[in-house]
Amino acid sequence: MAVESSPGPLDASRLEIKAVPNPKATPDADNPDLMSLKTSTDRMITASWNEERGWTNPQVVPYGPISLMPSASALQYATQCFEGMKVFRGYDGRLRLFRPLYNCERMLKSATRICLPAFDPQELLKLIHKLCELEAPKWLPKDKPGSALYLRPTLIGSDSSLGFKVPDEAQLYIFMVYWPAPKSVTINGGTAPQAGTRLLASRTSAVRAWPGGTGAAKVGGNYGTALMEHGIAKKQGYDQVLWLYGPDRQITEAGATNIFVIWKTSSGALQIATPPLDKDGLILAGNIRRSIIELARDMFSTVTVNKELQCEVLERKITMGEVEESSRSGRLMGVFVVGTAFWIQEVSEIGFNGESIKVNIGATTHVLLLRERMTEIMFGKRESDWVDIVQESG
């Protein structure tokens, strides 16, 4: 990906490492406080940028508050973007990042969409590797395989001018929080993170993304405006919002995840479908989304697989009318959502227009097989060029 030049480019080789005066104790995996997602590791990486000098030397510093003026661009005009990714402790003892360059490249796209400074994604990835190298051995010990830390690279406009303009100052920071493993249940002979996610379709008055907007970028403004509808869904006992768009009630995303539908066509052929990445820019191009599409095509689209598993994998527009009709006719075989934070979860119910569309979890084994394959890759039970190995000293 081409990156615009700046007076001083982001350069991971110039990283400066500061000592941690008061390192924290590692948490017990059963500590209920971990569910708050506030348990950070000891250190984070920071770097600042301004229009005249470019990027400063990045630094490893103790995790803590950052300094911003009340008039900062990020606070006043939402010039803020971020990424979400995980580092995993494999059952072979090694640390892995899952297709991390994709996230770094997507962060560059998000940054330039809201006029924040460009950077080389490879340099951002080097910084992420270094933070994992420094922090993960303590927080993900080798005697506790199957665990993960969540990384949040963030870029904000720190320009203190109250004028509405492109920021001429910015701050990058990368931090990590401990991520508790989800509680699993047994479904159809395999394990799933929970018994089923319940989605409430958004009202016609609420829109997450629109053509020409920022739906395809991972910017904070997308999430703040979604909280009202999310709160309504939670009060009604649902887990997430199923975001719809347009008069035909086109499905876009579910909460902060991408969504897939498994159904049979009128001729009886099986399909896995997900909304497309098109010129309208309504969908965030998720790393897990892309990986599930590629895996499903590899695992289920060939004539060599079991006939019950054979299916077509499509990226196409999906409307709620189609989902309703497939449910009424018995052709709806499954719905599942995917994302970095909560992995792959099957949907058990969709609330739409005051009615409930029930989804039979485990009607097919496709989701179970995809989850197992992804888990094998991320935790080192299956070799794959989708992972970066994090080097550890000693």
What's the mean pLDDT in 72-93? 97
pLDDT(11) > 60: yes
Same domain, 139 and 260: no
The total of structural domains in the chain comes to 2
* Domain termination site, one of 157, 181, 205: 181
Determine, yes or no, domain membership for 360. yes
Range of the domain at 152: 12-181
Q: Is residue 129 part of a domain?
A: yes
Indicate whether 159 and 279 sit together in one domain: no
224 and 288 together in one domain: yes
Q: Tell me what pLDDT residue 1 has.
A: 45
Read off the CATH number of the domain in which 327 is found.
3.20.10.10
Q: With respect to residue 298, please indicate whether it lies within any of the assigned structural domains.
A: yes
Same domain, 205 and 127: no
Same domain, 130 and 144: yes
Identify whether residues 79 and 219 lie together within a single domain: no
Note whether residue 384 is domain-resident.
no
pTM of the predicted model as reported, rounded to 2 decimal places: 0.92
Q: For residue 394, is it within any domain?
A: no
pLDDT confidence tier of residue 5, bands split at 50, 70 and 90: very low
Write down the pLDDT at residue 192.
53
Does residue 386 lie in a domain region?
Answer: no
Residue 195 shares a structural domain with residue 175: no
250-302 pLDDT, tens per residue?
999 999 999 999 999 999 999 999 999 999 999 999 999 999 999 999 999 86
Are both 74 and 127 inside the same structural domain?
yes
**Statement to judge: residues 370 and 233 lie in one domain:** yes
Instruction: Give the range among 91-95, 180-184, 290-294 with minimum mean pLDDT.
Output: 180-184
392 occurs within a structural domain: no
Last residue of a domain, one of 155, 181, 207: 181
Q: Model confidence at 183, in pLDDT bands (50, 70, 90)?
A: low
Residues 233 and 85 reside in one and the same domain: no
For residues 171 and 193, membership in a common domain is answered with no
Give percent of the chain above pLDDT 90: 85
**Would the CA dihedral through 102, 103, 105, 106 be positive or negative?**
positive
Axis-axis angle for helices 287-300, 100-113 (nearest 10)? 140
| 164, 287: one domain | no
CATH code where residue 105 lies? 3.30.470.10
Structural domain ending residue among the three candidates 147, 162, 181: 181
Instruction: Give pLDDT tens digits for 43-60.
Output: 999 999 999 999 999 999
Flag whether 105 is in a domain. Answer: yes
